[in-house]
C-alpha cells in the first residue's frame, strides 16, 4: 500500500549542502522532489566553508550534543551517498603560547571532558609527534580533539545530486524563486520563479542567507545576523599533514589573530584566521599573501605555494547562532532549514527534516529549541539581546 504522505511533491529551494542533503533524504523516502537553485548547486556559503566537522566549539550542551550526533553520523551518511565526499578523520590540534589563552584552553578542555567529549590536553612533545611537519614554537598548553574531521561540501552536494538522478526528482538551476502564491490559510499553493510556476505540496526553504527575505514573502519572520568570513586557498600540494587534518595555531604575537588551516581533497590548503565565527571582510590578494605567510611560519611546507584569494563568504546565521528548523505557523506547508555549521550538521538536520516532512511528526525532543517561532514576536530590544556575539545586525 502506498503511503499518501510519501507521494507528495516537495519543492526544496536552495541546493547548498543543507538543501541538497534534505532533497536527497526526502526523495529516498519516496516523495517527488523538485530542487531549485538560482545559481550553481553548492556555490553559496557551502563553497566558502572551512568545512571542519566538529562539536568542540559548540555550546550549550544541547547544541553540542546535536553537533556531536551529526559528527558521528558522517561515516554512515557518506556511505549511504555511496560516493567520495572528501571525508578525512584524525582530529584537530590547537595550542596557545600566551599563558592567559592557555588557561582558557584548559578550561574548555575540562568542560568538554565533563560532557564526555574525546578531547584532551597534550604536551608539546606529543603535539610534535602528532604532526611532525609543523614548526610549533612556544607552547603554554595544547589540545587534541581526536574525533573531529573534514569534508568537501561541493563533493557532498554533487553526490546528493547524483543520487537524486536515480529517484523521482528534478533539478532546476539558474532559476530564482521570486514569490509565493498562498491560500487563505497561508499555505503555499504556487512558487513563482524566473522560469515557471511550481505547485508543490510542501516547500523547504534552504536558501541560506536569502532565507530571511524569502520567508518574509510568506509572512514568516526569520531574523539573521551578518557574518562575513574569509578563507583563502592555495595552489595544490602533495599531502603535508599526515595525521591530523585540522590545525588551529596561535597568534604570532603581532596583534593579529590565530590561524586555522586544513588540506583539501584536491591538495589545496584552506587558511583562515580567528575562530569558526570570526568576522572578516578583507578578500584582497595582499591579505591572502599575509595569511599564507603566517601559516608558513607554522607549516614551512607552505612557503612556496601560491595564495589564492577567495571572495568574502556570508555565513547563514540565525540571530542567536542556532539552527532554525521546522514548519511555520504562518505558512503551514513551509519548512525552514537555516543553520550555521551546516557542514557539521547536514547529516542530522537532513535526517530530522525528512522525518518531520515525510512522517508528519515533530521531533520536538531534539528540535524544540530551534523552531522558527522563536523569532515571531520579538521586540527590538529582544532582537538586540539575542544577537549572536560574533555577528552583526543585518
Ligand atoms: C567562511 C565560512 C566558514 C565556515 N566554516 C564552517 C566549518 O568549518 N564547519 C561547518 O560546519 N560550517 C562552516 N561554515 C558554515 C557552513 O558552510 C554553512 O552553514 C553551510 O554551507 C550552509 O549551507 P546551506 O545549504 O544552508 O546554504 P548555502 O550553501 O548558502 O546554499 C543556499 C542556496 O540557496 C540558493 N538560493 C538562495 N536564494 C534563492 C532563491 N531565491 N531561489 C533559488 N535559490 C536560491 C543559493 O544560490 C544557494 O546555492 C562556514 C561558512 C563560511 C561562510
Kindly state if the Cβ of 154 falls inside 6 Å of ligand 1: no
- 285, 314, 343 — which closes off a domain? 314
Whether 277 shows a pLDDT value over 50: the answer reads yes
- 314, 329, 352 — which closes off a domain? 314
Kindly state if the Cβ of 46 falls inside 6 Å of ligand 1: yes
User: What confidence tens digit (pLDDT) does each residue in 156-175 have?
Assistant: 999 999 999 999 999 999 99
Pocket residue to mutate for ligand 1, from 16, 230, 339, 388, most atoms within 8 A of Cβ: 16
Same domain for 213 and 326? Answer: yes
- 261, 281, 314 — which closes off a domain? 314
Q: Which domain holds residue 380?
A: 4-48+153-225+317-393
- Contacts of residue 188, defined as CB under 8 A and 6 or more positions apart, other chains included, come to 180, 181, 182, 200, 203, 218, 331, 333, 334
Kindly state if the Cβ of 34 falls inside 6 Å of ligand 1: no
User: CA-based angle 139:145:147, to the nearest 5?
Assistant: 155
User: CA-based angle 142:52:281, to the nearest 5?
Assistant: 95
The mean pLDDT value for 112-120 works out to 98
Same domain for 347 and 232? Answer: no
User: What confidence tens digit (pLDDT) does each residue in 133-142 have?
Assistant: 999 999 999 9
Same domain for 157 and 209? Answer: yes
Whether 199 shows a pLDDT value over 80: the answer reads yes
Kindly state if the Cβ of 320 falls inside 6 Å of ligand 1: no
Same domain for 220 and 181? Answer: yes
User: What confidence tens digit (pLDDT) does each residue in 326-347 have?
Assistant: 999 999 999 999 999 999 999 9
Confidence of residue 5 (pLDDT cuts 50, 70, 90): low
Distance 179 CA to ligand 1 centre (A): 21
Number of domains the chain is built from: 2
User: What confidence tens digit (pLDDT) does each residue in 57-96 have?
Assistant: 899 999 999 999 999 999 999 999 999 999 999 999 999 9
Kindly state if the Cβ of 177 falls inside 6 Å of ligand 1: yes
The enclosing domain of 248 has a CATH number of 3.30.9.10
pLDDT at 1 (0 to 100): 42
Same domain for 36 and 97? Answer: no
Structural domain includes residue 365: yes
Structural domain includes residue 57: no
The mean pLDDT value for 214-226 works out to 94
**SS3 of the chain: helix, strand, coil, percent, to 5:** 35, 25, 40
Kindly state if the Cβ of 45 falls inside 6 Å of ligand 1: yes
Distance 202 CA to ligand 1 centre (A): 21
The enclosing domain of 8 has a CATH number of 3.50.50.60
Mean pLDDT, all residues of the chain: 94
Whether 255 shows a pLDDT value over 80: the answer reads no
Separation between Cα atoms, residue 310 and residue 308, nearest integer Å: 6
Amino acid at each position: 500500500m502506498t503511503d499518501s504522505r510519501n507521494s507528495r511533491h516537495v519543492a526544496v529551494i536552495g541546493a547548498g549542502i543543507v538543501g541538497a542533503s534534505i532533497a536527497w533524504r526526502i526523495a529516498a523516502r519516496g516523495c517527488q522532489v523538485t530542487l531549485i537553485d538560482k545559481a550553481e548547486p553548492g556555490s553559496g556559503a557551502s563553497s566558502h566553508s572551512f568545512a571542519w566537522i566538529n562539536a568542540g566549539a559548540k555550546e550549550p550542551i544541547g547544541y553540542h550534543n546535536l553537533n556531536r550526533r551529526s559528527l558521528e553520523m558522517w561515516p554512515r551518511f557518506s556511505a549511504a551517498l555511496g560516493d567520495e565526499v572528501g571525508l578525512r578523520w584524525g582530529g584537530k590540534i590547537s595550542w596557545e603560547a600566551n599563558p592567559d589563552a592557555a588557561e582558557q584552553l584548559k578550561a574548555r578542555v575540562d568542560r568538554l571532558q565533563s560532557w564526555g567529549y574525546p578531547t584532551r590536553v597534550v604536551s608539546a612533545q606529543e603535539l610534535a609527534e602528532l604532526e611532525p611537519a609543523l614548526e610549533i614554537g612556544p607552547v603554554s598548553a595544547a589540545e587534541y580533539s581526536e574525533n573531529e574531521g573534514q569534508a568537501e561540501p561541493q563533493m557532498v552536494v554533487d553526490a546528493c545530486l547524483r543520487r537524486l538522478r536515480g529517484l523521482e526528482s528534478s533539478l532546476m538551476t539558474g532559476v530564482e524563486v521570486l514569490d509565493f502564491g498562498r491560500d487563505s490559510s497561508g499555505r503555499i499553493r504556487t512558487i513563482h520563479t524566473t522560469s515557471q510556476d511550481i505547485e508543490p505540496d510542501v516547500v523547504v526553504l534552504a536558501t541560506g542567507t536569502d532565507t530571511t527575505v524569502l520567508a518574509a514573502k510568506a509572512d514568516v519572520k526569520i531574523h539573521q545576523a551578518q557574518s562575513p568570513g574569509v578563507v583563502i586557498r592555495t595552489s595544490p600540494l602533495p599531502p603535508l599533514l599526515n595525521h591530523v587534518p585540522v590545525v588551529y595555531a596561535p597568534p604570532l604575537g603581532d596583534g593579529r589573530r590565530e590561524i586555522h588551516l586544513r588540506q583539501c581533497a584536491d591538495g589545496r590548503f584552506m587558511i583562515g584566521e580567528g575562530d569558526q565565527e570570526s568576522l572578516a571582510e578583507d578578500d584582497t590578494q595582499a591579505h591572502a599573501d599575509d595569511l599564507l605567510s603566517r601559516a608558513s611560519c607554522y607549516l614551512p611546507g607552505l612557503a612556496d605555494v601560491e595564495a589564492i584569494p577567495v571572495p568574502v563568504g556570508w555565513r547563514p546565521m540565525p540571530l542567536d547562532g542556532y539552527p532554525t528548523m521546522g514548519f511555520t505557523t504562518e505558512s503551514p506547508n513551509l519548512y525552514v532549514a537555516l543553520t550555521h555549521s551546516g557542514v557539521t550538521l547536514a547529516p542530522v538536520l537532513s535526517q530530522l527534516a525528512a522525518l518531520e516532512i515525510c512522517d508528519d511528526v515533530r521531533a520536538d525532543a531534539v528540535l524544540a529549541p530551534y523552531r522558527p517561532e522563536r523569532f515571531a514576536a520579538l521586540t527590538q530590544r529582544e532582537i538586540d539581546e539575542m544577537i549572536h556575539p560574533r555577528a552583526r545586525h543585518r
